Amino acid sequence: MAGAASNNGMTGTSLIIISGQARVGVNMDIHQVRPGMICHTPDGSGYVLEVDVKNQLILVQREDETIPFQVHLSELLEELD
């Protein structure tokens, strides 16, 4: 990962610095993630293709990539302006 993570004192939330831009880890329920949503991860943003509720895994497809990638729910980030 091209960044550093630290606990910012909030339960279930981490502050992640990527290329000088701070992003906050999202604390959400796996049932809130749906195919077609756009999600943000340390590896980039993309569309949710599939959600594995049992293992809390999400299959994500970026617009500029042909191969989707898998992330754990805990890796989702909130986009900060």
Domain range annotation of the chain? 3-78
Examine the pLDDT at 67 and tell me if it is beyond 50: yes
The answer to whether the beta carbons of residues 39 and 28 sit under 8 Å apart is: no
pLDDT of residue 26: 64
Confidence of residue 71 (pLDDT cuts 50, 70, 90): very high
Please give the CATH topology (third level) of the domain spanning 3-78: SH3 type barrels. (2.30.30)
pLDDT of residue 79: 63
Of 10 and 56, more confident: 56
Q: What would the pLDDT profile of 9-52 be if each residue is shown by its tens digit?
A: 433 444 444 444 445 566 778 898 999 999 888 888 999 999 99
Q: Quick one: tokens of 25? A: 């880890």
- What is the DSSP code string of 10-60? STT-EEEEETTEEEEE----GGG--TT-EEEETTEEEEEEEEETTTTEEEE
Burial (CB count within 10 angstroms: exposed 0-12, middle 13-18, buried 19+), residue 31: exposed
For residues 26 and 15, the answer to whether their CB atoms sit within 8 Å is: no
